[in-house]
Structure 1
Amino acid sequence: MATRLQPVATDLPWRSVEPLPELNGDVAELLSATDSLRVVWAENLRRATAEEVEAARKRSLRRHAIETGIIERLYDLDWGVTEALVAEGLTLDVAAGEGELSEDTLAVIQDQYTALEYLADAARGGSPLSLHFIRELHDLVTRHQVTYDAQDQFGRRARVALPHGEWKRQPNSVIREDGVRIHFAPPEHVQAEMELLLAGYEKMSGAVHPIVLAAWLHHRFIRIHPFADGNGRVARALSLLVLLQAHYAPLVVDRRQRGDYIGALDCANEGDIRPLVRFFARLERNALTSALTGTMEVATAGAGAVDVARAYAERLRSLVGSRNDVQGRQVAVLADELHARLVDYLSGVRGQFLDAFRSVDPDADALVTYAAPPQEKAVYWRAQLIRTANAVDFYTNLREGSWWAQLRLTVLGQTMRHVVAVQKVGRGETGVLAVTAFAELVENHTVGESARRVPLLNPGPDDSVTLIYTDSAAGRWQEVCEFVDRTLAATIADFSNGLG
Structure 2
Amino acid sequence: MQWQPIKNLPSNWENLASSELPPLVTVWNEQAERLRSSGEFKTFMERLCREIAIETGIIEGLYTLDRGITRVLIEQGINEALIAHNPNNLGNPPIKQIVSLIQDQEAAIEGLFDFVGGGRSLSTSYIKELHQLLTQNQDSTEAKTPTGQIIRVPLNRGDWKKQPNNPERKDGSIDEYCPPEQVASEMDNLIQWHHQHRIEQIPPEVEAAWLHHRFTQIHPFQDGNGRVARCLASLVFLQARWFPLVVTGDERAAYIGALEQADQGDLSNLINLFAKSQKQAFIRSLGLSEQILSETRRAQAVIASIANKIRQNQSPTIPDRRQKVESFATNLFKIASARLEDIATEIKLSVQNLVSDAESFVVQAAAGDPKSYYHRFQVVETAKQLGYFANIRTYHSWIQLVINVESSTTILLSFHAVGHEYLGLLACSACAYHRDNTGEGERNISDIQALTDSLFQFSYADDESNLTERFKKWLEDVIVTGLEYWNKSV
| TM value normalised by structure 1 | 0.86
Give 1:148's aligned amino acid.
T
Partner of 2:486: 495
Contact 1:373 1:400 (C-alpha < 8 Å) held by counterparts? no
Alignment match of 1:137 (pick from 123, 130, 142): 130
**Of 257, 262, 269, which residue of structure 2 is paired with 1:275?**
269
Q: Per-residue deviation at 1:70?
A: 2.3
* Equivalent residues of 1:215, 1:277 under 8 A apart: yes
1:474 Cα deviation from its structure 2 partner: 4.7
**Counterpart position of 1:321:** 311
Aligned to 2:421: 428
Instruction: Tell me the number of residue pairs that the alignment of Structure 1 and Structure 2 aligns.
Output: 475
The change in CA–CA distance for 1:34 and 1:152 in structure 2 (over 3 A counts) is same
Corresponding residue SS for 1:184: coil
What is the DSSP-based 3-state SS (H/G/I as helix, E as strand, rest coil) of the residue aligned with 1:109?
A: helix
Aligned to 2:383: 389
Shift of 1:405: 0.7
Aligned amino acid, residue 483 of structure 2: I
Q: Deviations over 1:227-264 (max 9, x none)?
A: 12111111011110111112223332223333332222
Q: RMSD of aligned C-alpha atoms?
A: 2.8
Deviations along 1:468-493, whole A, 9 cap, x unmatched? Answer: 21335553233222222222322322
Percent identical across equivalent pairs?
31
Instruction: Output the CA distance in 1 between the equivalents of 2:172 and 2:229.
Output: 24
> Is the counterpart of residue 88 in structure 1 residue 79 in structure 2?
no
User: 1:422: how far off?
Assistant: 1.6
Deviations 1:31-61 (A, max 9, x none): x542232223223322223533223322322
Equivalent residue for 2:334?
340
Structure 2 counterpart SS, 1:421: strand
Match of 2:28 in 1: 41
1:373 equivalent among 367, 375, 392? 367
1:59 & 1:148 partners in 2: Cα distance?
Answer: 30
Q: Structure 1's 407 and 127: CA in aligned 2 closer, same or farther, altered over 3 A?
A: same
Aligned position for 1:108: 101
Contact 1:440 1:457 in 2 (8 A): no
Matching residue of 1:486:
477
Q: 2:9 maps to what in 1?
A: 20
CA contact (8 A) 2:16 2:206 kept: no
- Match in the other structure for 2:233: 239
- 1:442–1:453 CA contact under 8 A, matched in 2: yes
SS in 2 for 1:26: helix
1:148–1:161 contact (8 Å) kept in structure 2: yes
- Residue in structure 2 matching 1:188, options 181, 205, 213: 181
CA displacement at 1:175 relative to structure 2:
4.1
Q: State the 1:435 CA deviation.
A: 1.6
Q: Structure 1, unaligned stretches of length 5 or more?
A: 1-11
Find out whether 1:56 has 2:44 as its counterpart.
Answer: yes
Q: How does 1:136-155 map to 2 (within 5 A)?
A: 136-155=129-148
Residues in 2 aligned to 1:410 and 1:300: alpha-carbon distance in whole angstroms: 46
| Deviations 1:401-420 (CA, angstroms, capped at 9, x unpaired) | 422111111121x2111111
CA contact (8 A) 1:175 1:181 kept: yes
Distance 1:111 1:276 in 2: 26
Q: 1:92 to 1:405 in 2, by over 3 A?
A: farther
Say which SS state the counterpart of residue 483 (structure 1) adopts.
helix
| Cα distance in 2, alignment partners of residues 330 and 320 from structure 1 | 21
2:118 aligns to what?
A: 125
- Alpha-carbon distance in structure 2 between the residues aligned to 1:267 and 1:348: 36
How many angstroms does 1:79 deviate by?
A: 2.0
Change (3 A) 1:198 1:146: same
**Distance (whole Å) between structure 2 residues aligned to residue 96 and residue 319 of structure 1:** 42
Aligned residue runs from structure 1 range 200-215, under 5 A: 200-209=193-202, 210-215=204-209
* Whole-angstrom distance in 1 between the partners of 2:444 and 2:265: 52
CA 1:372–1:58: 2 relative to 1, 3 Å: farther
Q: 1:466 aligns with which of 449, 454, 457?
A: 457
Contact 1:327–1:429 at 8 Å: present in 2 too? no
Aligned counterpart, 1:288: 282
Q: Is this contact kept in 2: 1:214–1:240, CA < 8 A?
A: yes
Contact preservation (8 Å) 1:394, 1:425 = yes
- C-alpha change, 1:320 and 1:136, in structure 2 (3 Å) is same
* Aligned mate of 2:154, from 155, 161, 169: 161
Which shifted more, 378-387 or 262-271?
378-387
Question: How big is each residue's C-alpha offset from its partner over 1:418-443, in whole Å with a ceiling of 9 and x where there is no partner?
Answer: 11112212332332222211111225
* Secondary structure of residue in 2 paired with 1:173: coil
Return 5+ residue gaps in structure 2 as ranges.
none
- How many Å separate the matches in 2 of 1:83 and 1:388? 19
- Cross-structure match for 1:73: 61
**Secondary structure, aligned partner of 2:371:** helix
